[in-house]
Amino acid sequence: MGMKVVGDAMRVEAGLRGEMRYNEPMARHVSWRAGGVVDRAYLPADLADLRGFLRKLPGTEPVCFVGLGSNLLVRDGGLRGTVVFTHWALRQIRLENESGGHGEIYAEAGVAGPKVARFAALHGLAGAEFLAGIPGTIGGALAMNAGCYGGETWDIVTRVNTIDRSGALHERTPAHYRVGYRTVALKAEGGRRKDAMKSNAKIHPSSFIPPPSEEWFVAATFRLRPGDGEESRKKIKELLTRRIASQPLGQPNAGSVFRNPPGEYAARLIEACGLKGHAIGGAMISEKHANFIVNAGGARAADIEALIDAAQSAVKQKFGIELEREVRIIGEAA
């Protein structure tokens, strides 16, 4: 069975089993439910199909990997190039080596964080409970060292699998990366990406791909300590209860917009500037949690970005602190 094509445009090449879409609205694929279209979107059938797709893709084509879009804003003018949606295909999760009570869980990039947390608890392994509070996929969690409630993704990573532009697979360990608070970069070649992530500038989407080899995470193996499944499930339930109580989960949002500055909380700084409930167009700084921006109805990406800029400006003026974005903004203005 060949590649399925949706929409009007040229085919990449026959022989693929995934689905190619053209002029795909990214608002369908990001948790803010706002933003423009991407020229091409590919939904691979599996990892082998993804390898074939990358091998056939023109070398000049910009590529962006997207999971559940829970940390992403695509500007209203859309995105040039191709987006690969990992959560449609990279869904394998399994228990691997067990020794001395410890265990390893292999999870592909399209698996959601909460699923890994529940899987670990099911197998009596502890240390992954915090992943229940991360709404995105493992691929996204690896790319930004996502964390919450005292845990961070790379604290439990023992190795990762990546794919490069040629479709070749690589196995790497944490020693290959510079890992920090919400930042991850290959030691040998991640300088430009690290600089881009630290900047609040409006950056081309290719800045989020580690140059020059262009590798993306396709799986990770997590090493976890022995635990009590019932205790882990209780911890997960408590964590989710706290999340429901403190975050505006009933409205489209992308989680924490800004990283917490050293010794401070971004939410406290934004609230101290009187911005809770402040709205621009259909976007609003949440009245429940000031480090969240919600789509209150019909928000454009430009509305959300304007609120991000307003919060940064207000905090800089009042406290002299430069808030750094945790969310990624890509694409072109309308």
Positions marked active-site:
182, 256, 326
What's phi and psi for 2, nearest 5 deg?
A: -85, 180
Label each residue of 54-115 as H, E or C.
Answer: HHHCCCCCCEEEECCCCCEEECCCCEEEEEEEHHHCCCCEEEEEEECCEEEEEEECCCEHHH
The three-class DSSP label of residue 294 is strand
The three-class DSSP label of residue 4 is strand
Encoded amino acid at 166, one letter: S
Greatest Cα pair distance in the chain: 60
* Four-point Cα dihedral 286, 205, 114, 305, nearest 10: 0
Contact 219, 184 (CB under 8 A): no
Collect all residues with Cβ–Cβ distance below 8 Å to 106 and sequence separation of at least 6. 92, 93, 94, 95, 96, 219, 220, 221
Report the 10 Å Cβ neighbour count for 311.
23
Query: Distance between CA atoms of 151 and 36, rounded to whole angstroms?
Result: 34
Query: Distance between CA atoms of 291 and 91, rounded to whole angstroms?
Result: 30
